[in-house]
Each structure stands twice: as structure tokens, then as C-alpha cells.
């Protein structure tokens, strides 16, 4: 096929794809009644926000220290609780461990149910149950971590070498002994990596949970936005970014040097 014809065909295809995307974008805007002129009419509000956003209120920094510490502690506690519950549940959710399709299906269905609930909805549910505060944040992060990490762990278990398992079965080992001696050594490093990954995700998520009363620095972010204190909003976002950067750096070090 001539090169010119090939390029011409690809150009038409790309143009058609672009037109379809533009049509979907325009159609979606029409269906939800988007007022595009608001972008122009509210430019004064945008300028007000940007003027405050690019001038952080540094005098507010001392008041952020305690909420930042609370946010980190919430993430650590929630991650630890979630991972501790996820490990045995993930083992029970794999047929290679239980040799029981009913138990495996039951646990996998539960994992799927937990993962379908968004973080903010979980936080709102726990606020209704236990009230506003850091405990709500810990419980929300724990449930979210459980759903995420259990899925990763049982996927890792399903790919292990079955040689040690068959060897243990041949000498009459119990299912618990097989899980402990034949499977755990093969997946423990992956589990530690998943726990670190969950912690990184939870640091980011915990900053938002304060919007529904789950404690941490998110409460101050919500308050600053509500009162149009954009200088404080800027400073809080900078502190969140710094916290995430430090967390990622520590996680990378642990992955390379410890695990």
C-alpha cells in the first residue's frame, strides 16, 4: 500500500474520532444544561480566587501542624487495620487456599461490595454512626484499604507456585499450615508493597475526608473554602502536596532498601 494512501486513511480516521469526541462533549453539555457563558461572566470571581491562591497566608502555618499530624496518624492507623483484616480475608477468598468454592465466592462477593462504596460515602455513613472526628476517618480508611488490598492479595495468591502446596498436601498438612508454610513466604513481600501503596493512596484520600467531618486537615480546607479564605486554601494545598511528596519518598526508600 502506498505511504501516501496510508497516511491519508489514518488522517480521515483521526478526524472522524475527533468529530465524535466533540459531538459527545457538546451533546453532554446540552443534556445537563451547561451554561458556558458562566466561564466569562464569573471571571472576576476567578481572578479573586487566583489572587488569593498565589499569595499563601503563611501566618496560618502553625495552625496546620496538628491537623497534618492527625491526618498522617489517621492514614497509618486506617491502613494498618485494613491490611490486618485484608490478609486473612484474602486467603479465604482464594480457592487455592480453601479448596471450597462457596467460601471463596462469598468472600470475593464481599470484596466487590466493599470496593463499590466511594470513600466519601463511607465517611458519611460512619459520621452518622460514630459522629464527627478522627475515628470516622480511621474507620473509613480501614474499610477502603480492606477492599483494595484484599483484591490485590488474593490476585497475588492465585499466581503462586503450587509445587510447595502440593508437597504440603501430600504429607497431610492442614489448610492453615499450607497457607502459612507454602503460600505466605511467596506473597509476603508483595503484601508489604501493597500496604505501602495503600498508605500512599490513603494520605491523599484522608485530606478530602474532612469535607464530611472525618477529621484531619480536610476540615480546615473545607472551612477555608467556605469562607473564601483563598490564601489559607493555597497554604493547605501546599502542605498536602508536601506531605504526599515526603510520604512517596519514604515509601520508595522502603521498597528499595527494606523490602
* Least confident interval from 34-48, 83-97, 119-133: 34-48
Percent of the chain with pLDDT over 90: 20
DSSP 173-232: --HHHHIIIIIHHHHHHHHHHHHHHHHHHHHHHHHHHGGGT--SHHHHHHHHHHTT-HHH
Answer for the pair 15, 194: CB distance below 8 angstroms, yes or no.
no
What average pLDDT does range 62-76 have in this prediction?
89
Q: What pLDDT score does 5 carry?
A: 52
Domain ranges of the chain: 77-258
pTM metric for this prediction: 0.79
| Tens-digit pLDDT profile for residues 205-215 | 887 787 777 77
Instruction: Report how far apart, in Å, the C-alpha atoms of 228 and of each of 50, 61, 112, 240 are.
Output: 11, 17, 39, 19
- Residue 4: band (very low, low, confident or very high) from pLDDT cuts 50, 70, 90: low
Q: What pLDDT score does 48 carry?
A: 77
CATH pick for 77-258 out of 3.40.1160.10, 1.10.3720.10, 1.25.40.340, 1.10.10.10: 1.10.3720.10
CA dist 123 and 142 (Å) reads 11
Amino acid at each position: 500500500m502506498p505511504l501516501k494512501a496510508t497516511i491519508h486513511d489514518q488522517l480521515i480516521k483521526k478526524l472522524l474520532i475527533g468529530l465524535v469526541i466533540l459531538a459527545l462533549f457538546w451533546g453532554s453539555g446540552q443534556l445537563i444544561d451547561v451554561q458556558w457563558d458562566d466561564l466569562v461572566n464569573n471571571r472576576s470571581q476567578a481572578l479573586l480566587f487566583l489572587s488569593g491562591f498565589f499569595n499563601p497566608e503563611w501566618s496560618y502555618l502553625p495552625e496546620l501542624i496538628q491537623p497534618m499530624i492527625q491526618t498522617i496518624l489517621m492514614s497509618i492507623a486506617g491502613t494498618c487495620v485494613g491490611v490486618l483484616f485484608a490478609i486473612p480475608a484474602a486467603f479465604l477468598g482464594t480457592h487455592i487456599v480453601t479448596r471450597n468454592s462457596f467460601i471463596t465466592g462469598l468472600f470475593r462477593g464481599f470484596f466487590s461490595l466493599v470496593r463499590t462504596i466511594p470513600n466519601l460515602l463511607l465517611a458519611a455513613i460512619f459520621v452518622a454512626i460514630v459522629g464527627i472526628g478522627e475515628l470516622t476517618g480511621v474507620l473509613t480508611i480501614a474499610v477502603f484499604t480492606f477492599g483494595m488490598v484484599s483484591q490485590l492479595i488474593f490476585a497475588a495468591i492465585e499466581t503462586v507456585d503450587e509445587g510447595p502446596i502440593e508437597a504440603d498436601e501430600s504429607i497431610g498438612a492442614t489448610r492453615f499450615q499450607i497457607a502459612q508454610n507454602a503460600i505466605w513466604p511467596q506473597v509476603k513481600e508483595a503484601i508489604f508493597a501493597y500496604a505501602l501503596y495503600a498508605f500512599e493512596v490513603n494520605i491523599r484520600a484522608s485530606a478530602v475526608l474532612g469535607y464530611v467531618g472525618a477529621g484531619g486537615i480536610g476540615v480546615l480546607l473545607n472551612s477555608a473554602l467556605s469562607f473564601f479564605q483563598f490564601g489559607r486554601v493555597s497554604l493547605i494545598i501546599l502542605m498536602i502536596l508536601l506531605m504526599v511528596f515526603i510520604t512517596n519518598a519514604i515509601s520508595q526508600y522502603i521498597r528499595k532498601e527494606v523490602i
